[in-house]
Amino acid sequence: MQKHYKDRAIVLHSIRWKESSKIITLFSRGLGILKVIARSVYRPNNPMGGRLESLNLLEVVVIQKQTRSLQILQEAELLDSFYDLRRDLSRLPYALSVLELIQQTLGEQHSDEIFFDFTVHILKTFVSAPQPEIVLIYFLLKLASFLGFKPAFNRCQSCGKTEVKDTVYFSVEKGTVFCPDCREGVEYLSALNEEQFRFLQRLQIFPHKQLTEFPLPLPANLNAIQLLTRYLSFHLEHSIRLNALSLL
């Protein structure tokens, strides 16, 4: 039985199909990842034609049938094209990386309205954040938590020490940190100096609606994006690649 489903959605990816149609991957508020076909969108009289680009926030009407893996997109109204973000090539790759992360980590029907609203807020934050890289690191931290792999930066996993000086070691396997005295025998460790450790610790608990006011600069030599994508890759058991960052 078919039913009409109306919701907000972010366009993650689209490809041309045959002469006049598109296959689109949506991240919808109520159904999560959803693959749809938009028929005849390349024809001049189709109003949906320019609305189905990656990053666009839409209100969509989808004709859904449980036995069909590819649903039919009937309507799409543009809510936000993130125009200011698109024209800033120093920020756009970070926003596109969010789309890549969603597509590579969330399964179909993996829906959560709060996480969807959070993602829309993050995309808007990229426009005005002093350091967009920090916003992407923040999204990675929250995505890991949403997936059930919340990393712990509050204390040494082994001895419980919270006042750590100099260097600590983050375990990609365990998702926790170890002090120098407790690191022996633990695998897949990445060293963090005290500044880097405190930065990640504070960023993780910072309110997302105040993210543009985050007071700490990005520490030198901290490749937190690489560290956290390695962490997610390890626990999801597949490699995560952020190709959009090559545009920087």
| pLDDT at 157 exceeding the cut of 80 | yes
- 81's CB contacts (< 8 A; 6+ apart) are 53, 55, 56, 57
- Two domains, one topology: 2-81 and 85-247: no
Q: Are strands 71-80 and 152-156 parallel, antiparallel or unpaired?
A: unpaired
Q: What pTM value is reported for the model?
A: 0.94
- Amino acid, res. 104: Q
Query: Quick one: pLDDT at residue 108?
Result: 73
* Angle of CA points 212, 206, 195, to nearest 5°: 95
Residue whose tokens read 């926030």:
57
What is the pLDDT at residue 68?
79
Q: What is the CATH number of domain 2-81?
A: 2.40.50.140
For residue 44, the one-letter residue type is P
Q: pLDDT (tens digit, 9 = 90+) per residue, 68-108? A: 778 999 999 999 999 999 999 999 999 999 999 999 999 77
Return the domain boundaries, the chain: 2-81, 85-247
Residue at 29: amino acid letter: R
The CATH superfamily label for domain 85-247 reads: Recombination protein O, C-terminal domain (1.20.1440.120)
